[in-house]
Amino acid sequence: MANVRKITHPRRKDGSTKTSWRATWTAPDGKRQSKNFPRKAEADAWLRDVGAGRVGGSSAMTVSELAAAHMRYFDSLVKAGEREAVTLDGYQTVSSIHLAADPGFARRRLCDLTAPSIQTFLDETFARTGSADLATRVRRTLVTWCKFGMRRGWLHTNPAQACVVERTRRTSDEEGDGFNLPDKATLAALIAAAGQGPHAARDTAVVRLLMFGGLRISELLGLADDALVLKPKGATVRVRERLQRRHRTLGPPKSAKARRDVPVGEAAALAVRAWRLARGPVRAFSHRNGQLQMVRASGRLFPAPDGGHVWFYDDFINGCWLPLMRRAELVEMLPDSKSKNRPVTAFSPHTLRHVAASLWIAQGLSPKKVQDLLGHSTIQLTMDLYGHLWSDPDADDALAQASERLIANP
């Protein structure tokens, strides 16, 4: 770590004392360096130089070298079972795609790394990709890399911390939920279509758990068979695992808040019971977990139809969701980039998570309770997505009338 501290030297023979400022820094090779200065500003300036290798004989470290050093460190944590491989993939994506898209920034020395230079890089990333969410993820990665550099003594401050990704303000026509909820007739048609196909028991259980349990697809496909506990009326879904789509592995939930118990009603519980009877027993199997280590996993509630132990996302979409939406007449053939007609569903399975949230809100659940049921990491995320659904026009009108009466009849 780099630091500056005040030093008081031993009293001289003439009775006078002397103070100075000592700057200390750990070089990339692990050796400690220090130097005294009469003023603190000079010590800080020396740290800014030595922290990037401009003095002391060390080579100048660049942003790409900092990223590589952090990913080597993080890879050791993954192999030790302390972190998830999917997180390392995110860091590698930022390095191999977004840093590579701006070689000038990737080659920038840490001594020249400032908040304005990082802000420019983020702005250009936003302009190039057109995605504020992606640029935000890149910013978070840069913050993490700079924190790692500070812990190693290669950076004195974290310039990425001050940077932001500015989101375009919505116009009045764009204000709203950011997603479209299917109407009740469409949802009823989807439930009816689930009960009509060759895999009616399975599809009905899938639709009802998504629509009334608010599960993420990764959570549904990662559910162990014993994670759904049947009760005399209804059931409880114990979300403890999820399917990591990229690595096709089972790992822990998305966040600590995503580890939760979700109640579902009697119809969903009966659908799961019917599916278990039609499916038959499942057995434990060896599988790679989120750290890519071989572990023993219990049987899944929805195993792969071909006899596999885990039903992967693409197979689920092609083998279940697309045929289901076709039966509900919710698929349209549209040309792709090569002018070939491709089937496009009216909405994705994730839309049913929004449906579940809207149903809970319609029943009067508080924002905190909805956050808990959905497994959102923060209440802010819940309010950003669904805050508009808590509006009460009748209560607003009553409030306005009451406010006028307070002045008209004091």
Q: In CATH, what number is assigned to the domain containing residue 102?
A: 1.10.150.130
- Domain tally, the chain: 2
Residue 292 tokens read as 């890519």
Establish if 391 belongs to a structural domain. no
Check whether residue 143 and residue 227 sit in a common domain.
Answer: no
- The phi, psi pair for 328, rounded to 5°, reads -85, 5
Residue 299 tokens read as 């049987």
Residue indicated by tokens 């790679």: 288
Contact between 159 and 183 under an 8 Å Cβ cutoff? The reply is no
More confident residue, 327 or 129: 327
Residue 298 tokens read as 């219990």
Q: Under the phi-then-psi rule, with left for phi > 0, alpha for psi from -120 to 50, and beta for the rest, what region is 79?
A: alpha
Mean pLDDT of 375-379: 92
More confident residue, 24 or 211: 211
Establish if 25 belongs to a structural domain. no
Residue 410's pLDDT is what?
A: 54
Residue 175's pLDDT is what?
A: 34
pLDDT greater than 90 at residue 11: no
Residue 384's pLDDT is what?
A: 87
Domain that holds residue 125: 63-162
Establish if 198 belongs to a structural domain. yes
Check whether residue 231 and residue 334 sit in a common domain.
Answer: yes
Mean pLDDT of 402-410: 71
Identity of the residue numbered 175: E
Give the global pTM. Answer: 0.66
For residue 210, how many other CB atoms are within 10 A of its CB?
24
Check whether residue 141 and residue 258 sit in a common domain.
Answer: no
Residue 177's pLDDT is what?
A: 41
**pLDDT tens-digit profile of 46-76?**
776 665 444 443 347 899 999 999 999 998 8
Q: What is the dihedral of CA 9, 10, 14, 19, to 10 degrees?
A: 10
Query: What CATH number did the domain enclosing 275 receive?
Result: 1.10.443
pLDDT greater than 50 at residue 174: no
| Cα–Cα distance for residue pair 276/303, rounded to 1 Å | 11
Check whether residue 126 and residue 241 sit in a common domain.
Answer: no
Residue 52's pLDDT is what?
A: 47
Question: What is the average pLDDT value for the chain, to the nearest integer?
Answer: 86
pLDDT greater than 60 at residue 262: yes
Check whether residue 343 and residue 214 sit in a common domain.
Answer: yes
| Cα–Cα distance for residue pair 328/323, rounded to 1 Å | 9
User: Which of 47-61, 99-113, 203-217, 389-403 has maximum average pLDDT?
Assistant: 203-217
